[in-house]
Structure 1
Amino acid sequence: MLFLSSLLCVLLCIKTAQAAECGSCVDPHAVPNTYVVKTYHESEEHVENPHRGFVLQLVSKHSQPKPLTKAYLDYLREHDGLSMIWRTFMPDTFVTSPLSEEYLNQVRHDLEVLASASFTAIIRFEYIFEHREPPPYGDASKNIVLHHISQLKPIFHQYERVITAIEAGFIGAWGEWFYTDYFGMPKPYLHEAHYEPTTGLTEKALRDRKDVLLALLNAAPKSIQVELRYVAQKMYLMGTTPTTFQDVQRGTDRARTGHHNDCFLSSDTDVGTYRNKAAEYPYLAKDTRYCVIGGETCRVTTNHRHECPTATKEMAMFHWTWLNEGFDEDIYKVWKQQGCYADVHKRLGYRLTITKAILPKSTRVNDNLCFHLEFRNSGYAAPVKHLKFYFILKSTSGSQHYAAQVTGVDVRDWQPGYTHTVVSSVHLSHVHEGQYKVLVSLSDPLMGDRADYNVLLATTGVPLYTQGLNDLGHTITVSGQHTASAGCASISAWKPPAHGHYSRVFKGSFH
């Protein structure tokens, strides 16, 4: 613990030193009387933020299309507190042929509707939504799958802003990489001749599966992860070293390969999700610090594994970002009876709060304004997407905003349970005399002009819901003229996003 404390102190000193290069910054341990120290408290609100939370699986077959509508998504937001869905596309009539332009337009339509309703989505493509016995199961060959992925690539890029992650899909019944005609069936035992022992698959099946995974990773923009169904297969295909933050920053294939578990808590092995828990549990706990995981439960157990104590422990341990609220409803009835369902609703994915701010009471035009902000993440996971962090001054006598992007802040490393400090200075060369409220903005680079996609802090009295901004509850007086200047980034005129259309807080019942 002493080593960790010393390391945290060194890191804080480094951040402070970086700020000091463009003007002296406040020492959080000896705050002068020219500064104010504000403390904050986490709210109890169910704040709706993008790319996290409960979802509902909505399936659309080409043979029986069910196009999304904004009215239905608005209903889900109001009645269930959802702002993300699990969209399952089924090109079931194209198992042996290229996707038609008409079908591709159906996919585009649904993603456009998601954007119009300020939703995000996990998406999956699959050819069959049932388990057929005896085989053939009815999925597509490798060549067809790869061609379909190449056809979908422009759509992935066009709608990058609303796609949280893409499930590997395509292979087998339900796109779960099992019950497949072309990609090999895993053997249930760890050691059988001609089968790779950790996955139960032949080397050829593993090569073919990797080709599909790599095709999806290459087709998707760098900001989008691809989720795999089985932990052992990622460990084999991407190596047994868990993803690091350096991998995230470099955008490696390992960092862009996440996980989905479609039978969470539903047996001791989650119905075959794990083949060797002794190796896979510790790997998954580390890998999901940076790689998205989501999925669904599928049945109650006989040993209480599905109940709140185990459920919440494992969602925290494995950093769950999303969960299908529609399946299994019997498990969710237990969670509601035992009292953890509402807490899971708040904590899936990230839940960011500000805990402390050290800000000046006054400053001068052309001076450097130093600030020290501390944040916590009380969710299960770090944010999936990179966000821009803006420090903002808003005039109290008008609508003028001034802002500077704070570089070096990457919320994808804001792990749950830690304090995350933002220390910086901005130069007030363009600011006029007056009084200014202090705000912060966390915005998706692709959606910075949409308030409904900005991240709100789950802190009492802080969120400006329809504006998508966060008010730190402090006013700074800017007066006079400072004669010296320094090399800090200048704060400049800034246009806030247009007001959103939604309340951003779910106020319904979970009973």
Structure 2
Amino acid sequence: MRVAQDLDYTEDPVDVPNPDRGAYRGRWQWVGTRFGATPEVDRRVPRAPRTGSYQGATLVAPGVVGVVDGDDLEPTEFFDGTDRSPRYVGGTGVVAEPSVAFLGFDLCEFSSNAFLTRAAGRASDAELAAAGGVATQEMFRGRTGRTGPLTSYALDVVRGALQRVRDGEGTALVKFSYDGNGFGFLEGGPDEHLIWGPEPTHVTPNNPSATCDVPGHTGKSWIEYHLWQLAPVLHEFEDVITCVKTGMLGPWGEQHSSPLAEDPAAYRALLDAYLDAVPASRPLLTHAGGYLAWHNATHGTALTFRDLDALPAPAPGTPEARFGFFHDSYAAGWSEDGWSDHGSLSEGSAMLVPPGTDPGFDRDAVTAWVGRQGSVVQGEGGLAPNVFSRLPGAIVEAQRLGTTLLNLRHGDYRTWNEARYTEDLVSAPVTLPGPGDGAEPPYTGRTVRAVFDPVYAGRTGLEYLRDRLGYRLVLRSSEVSDVVDARTGTLECAGHVQNVGFGGVVNAKQVRVLLRAVDGATEFAAPTDLDVRAWLPAADGDGRAENTGAWHAFACAIPMTAFGAVPAGEYDVLLRIADPKETSENRRGVRFANRGTWEAGLGANRIGRVVVR
């Protein structure tokens, strides 16, 4: 007979570092090097071992403090917009313990179009201007990488970074690009512009062919070949990869600005190569324009941004279902191009229509499409004060997108930190901008309301939004067998879980039931067929405990023989929820947001107690 368990079923309003979701610690900081000032964004992948200031990963100045390798998951304050060079982090007083490491790999050494330093890019640009815009090979010489295969040492650098993640507690957001530090783009001022496309598939005087010349692979482009080389590494570390940002095109790998990043044909080849290289269990991040370009080439359609409302949710198990979304100016709001977050939301829209034609961008349609993907949504930067970043609009926006990951370092979080989470503020109706609306109200879009959850009353908006990123699971009820026979009995567990986050559990998890002797360290485990990906948040964002319609029932009946020979005694019953390929016994377990249920030593949640006879 099952009996109700004496547990705390209320949500504990604290940071819960779970795999595949939350605030992540990126590499955003401005440091000085002997090559000039550079924003340390992505680690540079070398051809061979280096010494001195190279440090095997990226160019940093000797003695600079605060330089983090990207897989450092120490508790960190959210950035408050104040220049804190070289640390470029903190100031809000609100701390998150990241469970996701941003591993950006800059492959500039392997492209003859990619500058190795910011100074080299500027020097080449000056010579290009002096020559009237006519490029010559001399403008690149000594300033760029060299197109060719990734070396075994380079692959080992990638492998080593992922191994450090596996050895730690977190998972990884992985990105590859050929200009991870933006050296090929002059940013800021009226003359902001791209110098050259950094990709080894962009034909220039210094890179005369986009085609791989390795025997047996001459049918591939250099991007396709590099991803083919990386595929074994990505499969080897499938267990600790949250998602892969498809990158590769444009400065910072943000899929904008370069000629290839604005070419629909490039996305078919790029995304197909990623579909082949990355384990099928892991999401791929792109933008709406890139996805539509791939879809058109794959299915013979002619979709534009005007068709997003008609695109249904992708069927599970299809290539379409593998695509998530990256948003490189999250909630940045209005600029000269309208309500597109500095063009991040409308990225790629213009390449899908004839030149000079209205691309049909509608922010509401884009966010709805992103949410229907039901996948990972990664945000970076942005948060300029506007209706989409201030509460309550920020809550509605994140629920609609299903926001999963946000960069702790890049983005001014004062907007959320200075707002108190109160019923008057959160429940107030807000009208969103519609197509064509200007920066200031009145607006012509939908009027929406967020749902106030009293659990967070009086806390900051930043604390609430920090805790709602991705999934957040709260145990609402639990029943466990009172007494069970060790040889002939069946252990029964049942209860309810509520997902109060913005998104679902995207990557598959295996759920195991653990038995731990109350008077000792003896443990036993048995698998279940529970699928936590079905535990979705309420469609209207109502995560309050009294919304029992959003609770998800679970139940399992496990023959005691499945645990092996279990001695008589009293046992705690726990749920261990982790990746099916997890290599450790207690790391990267999914933790419920309840007080007193988490057992860190087992990486599992206590749901009750049973007597075995």
TM range (shorter): 0.7 to 0.9
Distance (whole Å) between structure 2 residues aligned to residue 70 and residue 235 of structure 1: 34
* Deviation digits for residues 461-504 of structure 1 (CA, Å, limit 9, x no counterpart): 100123211112x332233xxxxxxxxxxxxxxxxxxxxxxxxx
Q: 2:528 aligns with which of 384, 392, 406?
A: 406
Report the counterpart of residue 340 of structure 2 in structure 1.
Answer: 269
**Letter of the 2:596 counterpart:** G
| Structure of greater relative contact order (alpha carbons < 8 Å, 6+ residues apart) | 1
Cα gap change, 1:271/1:70 in structure 2, threshold over 3 Å: closer, same or farther? closer
Displacement after TM superposition at 1:297 (Å): 2.8
Q: Distance in 2 between matches of 1:157 and 1:422?
A: 31
SS of match in other structure, 1:103 = helix
Give the Å deviation of 1:341: 1.0
CA contact (8 A) 1:260 1:293 kept: yes
1:134–1:71: structure 2 CA closer, same or farther, 3 Å change rule?
A: closer
1:233 aligns with 2:285: no
Q: How far has the Cα of 1:151 moved from its partner?
A: 1.1
- Number of the residue aligned with 1:66: 57
Q: Is the 8 A contact 1:259 1:292 kept in 2?
A: yes
What residue is the counterpart of 1:428 in the other structure? 560
Structure 1 position 335 matched with structure 2 position 377: no
Tell me, in whole angstroms, the C-alpha distance in 1 between the residues paired with 2:73 and 2:250: 33
What SS does the aligned partner of 2:367 have?
Answer: helix
Distance 1:320 1:74, change over 3 A: closer
What CA distance in whole angstroms lies between the structure 1 residues aligned with 2:476 and 2:57?
A: 45
SS in 2 for 1:323: strand
Contact 2:194/2:257 (8 A) holds in 1: no
Residues 1:222 and 2:284 aligned together: no
1:138 maps onto 2:259 in alignment: no
Paired residue for 2:392, among 309, 322, 326? 309
Task: Report the residue type matching 1:257 in the other structure.
Answer: F
Between the aligned partners of 2:155 and 2:74, the Cα distance in structure 1 is 26
In structure 2, how many angstroms separate the alpha carbons of the residues matched to 1:441 and 1:154? 28
1:36 aligned partner? 4
- Counterpart of 1:312, as a letter, is I
Structure 1 residue 139 displacement after superposition: 2.6
The RMSD of aligned alpha carbons is 2.5
Q: 1:149 aligns with which of 201, 211, 227?
A: 227
Structure 2 distance, partners of 1:164, 1:262, is 18
Does 1:359 pair with 2:475?
Answer: no
Is the 1:395–1:437 contact (alpha carbons within 8 Å) kept by the matching residues of 2? yes
Question: 1:93 maps to which residue?
Answer: 109
Of the candidates 96, 100, 123, which is equivalent to residue 84 of structure 1?
100
Residue of structure 2 aligned with 1:114, choices 157, 165, 170: 165
Equivalent residues of 2:178, 2:199 under 8 A apart: yes
Cα distance, 1:362 vs structure 2: 2.0
Match of 1:123 among 174, 183, 188: 174
Structure-1 residue corresponding to 2:499? 377
Quick one: distance in 2 between partners of 1:357 and 1:57?
Answer: 38
1:166 Cα deviation from its structure 2 partner? 0.7
Check the 8 A contact 1:51/1:120 in 2, yes or no: yes
Distance in 2 between residues matched to 1:342 and 1:404, nearest whole Å: 36
- Deviation, 1:432, is 3.7
Equivalent residues of 1:70, 1:114 under 8 A apart = no
Write out aligned runs for 1:482-501 (5 A): none
Q: In structure 1, what is the Cα distance between the partners aligned to 2:18 and 2:533?
A: 15
Give 1:351 deviation, angstroms.
Answer: 1.1
Residue 347 (1) aligns with residue 413 (2): no
Please list the CA deviations of residues 367-389 of structure 1 after superposition, one character each: whole Å capped at 9, or x if unmatched: 23332121111111111211111
Q: Is the 8 A contact 1:432 1:478 kept in 2?
A: yes
Relative to 1, partners in 2 of residues 1:422 and 1:448: Cα closer, same or farther, differing over 3 Å? farther
User: Quick one: structure 1 residues 139 and 326, their matched pair in 2 at CA, closer, same or farther if it must change by over 3 Å?
Assistant: same
Distance 2:149 2:416 in 1: 44
| Contact 1:266/1:306, CA 8 A, preserved across alignment | yes
Q: Is the 8 A contact 1:171 1:180 kept in 2?
A: yes
After superposition, what is the alpha-carbon deviation per residue over 1:259-292, rounded to whole angstroms, capped at 9, x for unaligned?
Answer: 10101111221222133335323222222x3x11
- In 2, the alpha carbon distance for the partners of 1:88 and 1:356 equals 41
- Separation of aligned partners in 1, 2:252 and 2:194: 16
Deviations 1:195-232 (A, max 9, x none): xxxxxxxxxx323211110111110111211100x224
Aligned-residue offset at 1:80: 4.5
> Per-residue deviation at 1:305?
3.1
Give SS of 1:259's match.
strand
Q: Which residue of 1 aligns with 2:250?
A: 172
Deviations 1:276-335 (A, max 9, x none): 335323222222x3x11112133515x443223222221111111101111122xx0121
- On the 8 A contact 2:517/2:572 being kept in 1, the answer is yes
Distance 1:60 1:421 in 2: 44
TM-score normalised by the chain length of structure 1? 0.75
Partner in structure 2 of residue 475 of structure 1: 609
2:350 matched residue in structure 1: none
Q: Counterpart amino acid of 2:611?
A: T
Letter in 2 for 1:260: F
Cα distance, 1:441 vs. partner?
1.2
CA contact (8 A) 1:393 1:436 kept: yes
1:156, distance to aligned residue in structure 2 (A) = 0.6
Gaps of 5+ in 2: 28-41, 47-53, 59-66, 78-94, 112-146, 187-192, 202-209, 211-220, 297-309, 334-338, 347-360, 420-459, 539-549
Q: Provide the rounded CA distance (Å) in 1 between the counterparts of 2:524 and 2:16.
A: 26
Quote the residue 2:218 is aligned against: none
Q: Is the 8 A contact 1:135 1:181 kept in 2?
A: no
Higher mean C-alpha deviation, range 313-322 or range 397-406: 397-406
The answer to whether residue 580 in structure 2 is matched with residue 458 in structure 1 is no
Corresponding letter in the other structure for 1:66 = A
3-state DSSP class of the match of 1:438? strand
Please name the residue that 1:282 is paired with.
368
Q: Percent identity of the aligned residues?
A: 23
Q: Which residue of 2 aligns with 1:46?
A: 15
* CA-CA distance at 1:45 after TM superposition: 2.6
